[in-house]
Structure 1
Amino acid sequence: MDFGLDDEQRAIVDTVRTFVTRELYPHEEEVERTNEVSQELAAQIRKRAIEAGLHAANMPAELGGGGLDAVGMTLAERELGKTSYALQWLVARPSNILQACEGDQRDRYLMPAIKGERYDCLAMSEPGAGSDVRSMTTRAVRDGDDYVIDGTKHFISHADKSDFVILFASTGSDEVRGRKVNLITGFLVDLDSPGLTVVPGPHSVSHRGYHHSELVFESCRVPVANRLGEEGHGFDLMGEWLGASRLTVAATSVGRARRVLDMTIRWAADRQQFGQPIGKFQGVSFQLADMVTELEAADLLTLRAAWKLDHGTMTDQDAAMAKVFASETLGRITDRALQIHGGMGLMEELPIERFWRDARVERIWDGTSEIQRHIIGRSLLRPLDA
């Protein structure tokens, strides 16, 4: 089996790595200090990302996107993951779910997103419905040529920087295996729509400058023409999107873990105690050995899932295994890195404490570690009718 990259893949890595180093790294400290990315800086990064051919790299070439396959996107996400989410998000990858747009929706939402003229966010989570998506209470009721939407969404990433939301709401109910569940439908909703209010969410310790918001819908009228797909089939659309999104979390976790490990190796080689580099002590060198071994395993697991996605064989189990292992590996690596750095690891003068804080959310968003394990366990037992 050949694990090497071909010339095109190496070019992808080099291009994204150079962009991240030149255009994003220099602004990390400012974002950490201010908890904000200025409009001027955001516009500059977006413009340069478009010029570099990195914008909408995940979208088909025939639509004007970069046309990268899953492996190519994983390699790109791995490099982007090395820096702040608030900065790397500006190298926009429109949600894959927008490819479900039809008719006029393509002109109003899909194509502007690919061109960098409009930006999307995704709204699924609610105060009372996180992992249990089917229990969402935000409702869309058909009224003539409109749907009237009422309810609240929270933890909606970068809604404050977006133009429209891909919303999932309940449009009825059905009984599945003896349990009453909501039928979910997708909608495209402009964030300036009457009846929709964007409220800043609580402060998060992870990913400063990358904000989340609450979306409050109060008799918000959305045209039927803005429905994404068929009524009641939104859960299927979410399923298609979540696989790619979990690969993104896995890839960015691998990239950030690689950067932390590199910093920690340098620290272990330079930091002197008892007359020698601390890396020579088994208490440190063994931790470094575990860190790099787990990181290589997470990288291969993620690339394997991406390769299977390109070949049409990736399962929910593949994506779940990559997401849970890579995100938890990142958590272990950042924790060990902080321990090796000692007291300085907790000081804001070094970025280690930031990576440590940022790593924690990866085990929660886009499906918690518990949900991923449930998916894996279910996949193992279902063929046996258990």
Structure 2
Amino acid sequence: MARRFLAEQARRRAPYETTASQACLSLTPKAAELGWFLLATPEERGGLGQDFAALGALYRELGRALSPLPLMTAMMAVHALREASSDYANAMLDSIGAGDAVVGAQLPHGGAVHVSSAPDGFVLDGRLSHALLPDGATHLLLQADLAGEPAVLLIVLDGGVAIKRHEIWDRTRELADVVFTGVRASAEAILAKGEQAVRLIADRSAHFDLALACDCVGGAEQILDETVEYTRTRRQFGREIGSFQALKHRCADMKTELEAAKALTARAASAIDSSDRAAVIAAGAKILAAQTYRAIAMDAVQMHGGIGFTWEHDCHLFLKRALLNEALGGSPEDYKDRLFEPMRLAVDAARA
């Protein structure tokens, strides 16, 4: 149903004709009516109470459609709000579920914000780099330093926050630097602190990585399907180009690489709520899926021939999304550097 809905309601080129946020103006209310923003909200708090398996399937379809819908940042906020029981948290869950609140999110390792106490709440100072922030976002999910311990906040974006938007090659997402200089926030905006915040930050990072991995798998599936179909209809030298052995082998290699990425992503999705190594597995899935998506998208451009390099064809739209997915959260080398220590500790523990 999600695939059919996105095919009917979301045009691939809409973000390039306007902006990602403008393209979502009609899409977000309809997605909210379908309950997409309620998927991760517990049933006892008015949601559908689904695990990551349902979310992962939807992330894949959004990737297939190159959709600009900011579902990932909304679900990251929902995951944090589930841990709080305040009236503010309940109201925010309702607002996100209805599609009224548009949430941006700090990228993992995306800067630092310090929180100090004030008579009527807290004051924020600091800078976030390349936050996922839709134009018109009403709230921002971030982590901060609160008196020497970590905290997770969901703050209202108002006139006191300085936002510098970035022009990027993939128009389906919007990135911005966010600067806080003496910005006041209410005490209820702090959703967790201390050990609870440490756990939420790790969970958010795993969710981010796995959501991108699912998006990559969906996008790679779609562009591979379209490329195979093109080789069946494009004729050269009196025959379909798909009958040439070199292209057959190339398509087979692409399919093999995609299946490996799908398998690791599925393994990560099954472990995200139950394994203490969920963050490591999710990061590994993101690395493999993003590299696979980029490779398949680049091969697709080549296999479409001259038309694949033109603006009029959609190949470049998939390649742009693939390149941004790979860059978000850090380069593959950054990810591997961060994974080295926990993997070394796991190996040492297994040998002990």
- When the two structures are superposed, what TM-score results if normalisation uses the length of structure 1? 0.82
Asked if the contact 1:327–1:363 (Cα under 8 Å) also holds between the matched residues in 2, the reply is yes
Equivalent runs, 1:353-368 vs 2, <5 Å: 353-368=316-331
Q: 1:155 maps to what in 2?
A: 130
What letter is aligned with 1:205?
W
Q: 1:373 maps to what in 2?
A: 336
The separation in 1 between residues aligned to 2:311 and 2:304, in whole angstroms, is 12
Asked if the contact 1:147–1:221 (Cα under 8 Å) also holds between the matched residues in 2, the reply is yes
More displaced stretch, 115-124 vs 267-276: 115-124
What letter is aligned with 1:195?
G
What letter is aligned with 1:22?
E
Q: Deviations over 1:131-184 (max 9, x none)?
A: xxxxx44321223442221222231223423211112222345xxxxxxxxx43
The separation in 2 between residues aligned to 1:146 and 1:229, in whole angstroms, is 15
Equivalent runs, 1:2-21 vs 2, <5 Å: 15-21=1-7
Q: Do the aligned partners of residues 114 and 305 (structure 1) sit closer, same or farther apart at CA in structure 2, a change above 3 Å counting?
A: same
Q: 1:203 maps to what in 2?
A: 167
Task: Give yes or no for the alignment of 1:168 onto 2:134.
Answer: no
Asked if the contact 1:160–1:198 (Cα under 8 Å) also holds between the matched residues in 2, the reply is no
Equivalent runs, 1:1-386 vs 2, <5 Å: 15-24=1-10, 27-38=11-22, 42-87=24-69, 89=71, 93=75, 95=77, 96-124=79-107, 130=110, 136-173=111-148, 183-192=149-158, 195-199=160-164, 201-206=165-170, 208-230=171-193, 234-312=197-275, 315-383=278-346, 384=348
What letter is aligned with 1:23?
Q
Q: SS where residue 197 of structure 1 aligns?
A: strand
Asked if the contact 1:71–1:310 (Cα under 8 Å) also holds between the matched residues in 2, the reply is no
Q: Do the aligned partners of residues 362 and 210 (structure 1) sit closer, same or farther apart at CA in structure 2, a change above 3 Å counting?
A: closer
Q: SS where residue 28 of structure 1 aligns?
A: coil
Q: Which runs of 5+ in 2 are unaligned?
A: none
Q: Offset at 1:116?
A: 2.4
Sequence identity of aligned pairs in percent?
A: 26
Q: SS where residue 121 of structure 1 aligns?
A: strand
More displaced stretch, 348-357 vs 91-100: 91-100
Asked if the contact 2:283–2:335 (Cα under 8 Å) also holds between the matched residues in 1, the reply is yes
More displaced stretch, 85-94 vs 329-338: 85-94
Asked if the contact 1:121–1:156 (Cα under 8 Å) also holds between the matched residues in 2, the reply is yes
Q: Deviations over 1:301-347 (max 9, x none)?
A: 11111122354565222112211111111011001111111221110
What letter is aligned with 2:96?
A
The separation in 2 between residues aligned to 1:23 and 1:54, in whole angstroms, is 15
Tell me how large the CA RMSD over aligned residues is.
2.5
The separation in 1 between residues aligned to 2:94 and 2:204, in whole angstroms, is 18
Q: Do the aligned partners of residues 103 and 93 (structure 1) sit closer, same or farther apart at CA in structure 2, a change above 3 Å counting?
A: closer
Q: SS where residue 254 of structure 1 aligns?
A: helix
The separation in 1 between residues aligned to 2:273 and 2:122, in whole angstroms, is 37
The separation in 2 between residues aligned to 1:118 and 1:101, in whole angstroms, is 18
What letter is aligned with 1:221?
R
The separation in 2 between residues aligned to 1:74 and 1:162, in whole angstroms, is 23
Q: SS where residue 55 of structure 1 aligns?
A: helix
The separation in 2 between residues aligned to 1:380 and 1:90, in whole angstroms, is 27
The separation in 2 between residues aligned to 1:50 and 1:222, in whole angstroms, is 28
Q: Do the aligned partners of residues 277 and 323 (structure 1) sit closer, same or farther apart at CA in structure 2, a change above 3 Å counting?
A: same
What letter is aligned with 1:75?
A
Q: Which runs of 5+ in 1 are unaligned?
A: 1-14, 131-135, 174-182
Q: Deviations over 1:206-261 (max 9, x none)?
A: 2x153222222121112233222125864432101111221111111000000000
Q: Do the aligned partners of residues 262 and 29 (structure 1) sit closer, same or farther apart at CA in structure 2, a change above 3 Å counting?
A: same
